[in-house]
Structure 1
Amino acid sequence: MDELNNFLEAHTEMGLIGWVHQAEAARRFGITVHQAERAILEMGLLPARYQRNCGTASVEGQLVLHGSRVAVIGCGGLGGYVVEQLARLGVGTIVAVDPDVFEEHNLNRQLLSSIEGLGAPKAAAAAQRVAAINPAVTVVPVQDAFCPENASVLLAGSRVAVDALDSVQTRLELADACNRLQLPLVHGAIAGWYGQVATQLPGHATVRHIYSSWTSGAGVERELGNPSFTPAAVAGVQTAEVCKLLLGLEHPLSGRKLLLDLLHMDMDHFTLPA
């Protein structure tokens, strides 16, 4: 460990360690780049890739992000962007859950989709994408559908869960499971020009209140469609909520629903019962 620290200290410039030296430290000392990143942060230094996070997260906060595990349920329109943003933020472990493979209609909006990837599993694509942009982040791909029976396994060890689903019934089951496991949930939904985000803290019935009038059937997105920009905008808000929860920052969307209207460029809050 002393040799690793000495190597890192010798290659520090203004408190930053460049990617080349982080990767070389991993190779030279027989550790993963994930472990090398932790060593850098524990020394009070910062991998150079995160220097623009400063002001949003301190070095200590970056270490918290690195040690956090987040479960993203759904890797399509919303989930693909959330996975990417969490990885670029520096969240150390991401569980990417999705049973589906890419189809042609995904190409208009899903970040992880490509022509070459048609027919490929979405969860595996999430892992491949993150490996290409931040190898210090571990992605656990799960090609399976979330359900109450596997909830404890899929959510085990996570500090926050992200709802990136397109089924109201499954959203409700996820929300209930998070309450059973005392896990915060960041909900997001999109339809056409519109999107919504809310944070359900343990013990609250936030998602059930949002869908209190729903009885059955598909969501409104089946009628309004989903263009390229709506999932990107809503996923960004969801990722900000996850960041606040992980870092213990104030002002999460608890007890509130944020509604985005990208057609009229309006943003409204609605108070929800606890």
Structure 2
Amino acid sequence: MATGLITAIVAEVHEIRGPNGSGCRVLSIDAVQRIAAQTGKPLREVEIGALQHGITPVRYLRNQVSIGILDQIRLLEAKVAVIGQGGLGGFVAEILARAGVGRLVLIDGDRFEDHNLNRQLFCTADTIGQYKAERAATHVGRVNAAVLVEAKVAFLTPSNADQLIAGCDVVVDCLDNIVSRFDLESAAKRAGIPMASAAVAGYTGQVSTVFSEDTGIALIYGAREDLQDSEGIETVLGCPPQTVALVAAVQSSEVIKVLSGKTDRLLRNKLWVADLSDNTFEVFSLV
């Protein structure tokens, strides 16, 4: 790390009482911005540099006990593609940005419509008609300006999937049809990267994580060639907002565990299923 950046960081450090009661060296958001302006470094690099010297940007202070400094660095260095910026994807983008995932690619070719208002985080009366990916990117930039966010206004297809997720460490399946899920899984397997997959229907939701060597979502939906209908049951049961928010939180947690190397705790070859109608939560083995 450049000496000038270290010097600038150290000059801005102050100590506070941390979440666990011990002393903690921190940088305020204003300090991070001043250092970036002074050194010409991106905000993300300033935050990584601080963490590498045991100094916590205050925005991540409440992550520290659960995530830890080394894992926070891993998150900031990571690149994640979130495919679909509707119900699940909007909440996932928000959570990952607040957690400190340093690079996000937000992908969706659709625009907001009135019927999205009940569950899609970035859909408001003022954003009807706007591209979902672009609106999500704007919001993420306001939440965490250190995140390098790229909006891709495109629907995922077999011909563009590889390009859309190129260079990513994890992909997040927030799609609304099963055929596209298979297309994304195939691209993720070719790239050798994990995929966190989720779906919502009514009061029920499910999450599973797939690695490139796994059988994958065929264990949930059956073989792709045997599909009778590409649309999920959510077209019949709908998507209440509370189910969407819950499932997106679990899906985001899977992404964070992958990026921080906690692979022994994943929903790999498993299916987490929630039913909010009777408050049941179960994990099923798929193999």
The normalised TM-score by structure 2 is: 0.92
Is residue 38 of structure 1 aligned with residue 51 of structure 2?
A: no
Q: Distance in 1 between matches of 2:257 and 2:66?
A: 10
Q: Supply the distance in 2 between the matched residues of 1:171 and 1:16 (Cα, whole angstroms).
A: 41
Contact kept, 8 Å, 1:206 with 1:272, in 2: the verdict is no
Q: 68, 78, 81: which one pairs with 1:68?
A: 78
Task: Tell me the equivalent position of 1:221.
Answer: 234
Match of residue 266 from structure 1: 280
Structure 2: give runs of 5+ residues left out of the alignment. Answer: 16-24
Q: Secondary structure at the match of 2:217?
A: helix
> How far apart, in 2, do the equivalents of 1:94 and 1:56 lie?
22
| Candidates 115, 127, 152, aligned match of 1:117 | 127
**Aligned partner letter, 2:129:** G
Which ranges in structure 1 are unaligned for 5 or more consecutive residues? none
Given the superposition, is the C-alpha separation of residues 228 and 99 from structure 1 closer, same or farther in structure 2, using an over 3 Å criterion? same
Partner of 1:179: 189
1:38 CA displacement: 2.2
Using the TM superposition, give the Cα deviation of residue 214 of structure 1 relative to its aligned residue in structure 2, in angstroms.
Answer: 3.6
Q: Which moved more, 1:197-206 or 1:61-70?
A: 197-206
Q: CA RMSD in A?
A: 1.2
Amino acid at match of 2:219: H
Q: Say which of 214, 228, 236 aligns to 1:204.
A: 214
- Rounded Cα–Cα distance in structure 1 between residues aligned with 2:105 and 2:245: 20
Q: Please tell me the residue identity of whatever aligns with 2:57.
A: P
Kindly provide the amino acid, as one letter, of the partner of residue 128 in structure 1.
T
Deviates more, 1:115-124 or 1:39-48: 39-48
% same residue: 37
- What SS class does the counterpart of residue 209 from structure 2 fall into? strand
Q: What TM-score, normalized by structure 1, do the two folds share?
A: 0.97
2:19 matched residue in structure 1:
none
Partner of 2:250: 237
SS in 2 for 1:226: coil
Q: C-alpha distance in 1, partners of 2:42/2:260? A: 25
Note the C-alpha offset of 1:3.
Answer: 2.7
Counterpart of 1:145 (choices 149, 152, 155) is 155
2:271 is matched with 257
Q: 1:151 & 1:254 partners in 2: Cα distance?
A: 22
Task: Tell me the distance in 2 between the aligned counterparts of 1:7 and 1:179.
Answer: 42
Out of 114, 124, 136, the residue aligned to residue 146 of structure 2 is 136
Query: In 2, Cα distance between the equivalents of 1:256 and 1:38?
Result: 34
Q: CA deviation at 1:217?
A: 4.0
**Displacement after TM superposition at 1:43 (Å):** 2.3
Contact 1:126–1:139 (CA under 8 A) maintained in structure 2: no
CA deviations over 1:179-228 (Å, ceiling 9, x no partner) = 12211010000011000000111111221111117422421001101111
Q: 1:65·1:91 contact (CA, 8 Å) conserved in 2? A: yes
What corresponds to 2:259 in structure 1? 246
Aligned length: 273
Q: Which residue of 1 aligns with 2:22?
A: none
Contact 1:186–1:199 (CA under 8 A) maintained in structure 2: yes
Amino acid aligned to 1:241: E
The runs of at least 4 consecutive aligned structure 1 residues that moved more than 3 Å come to none
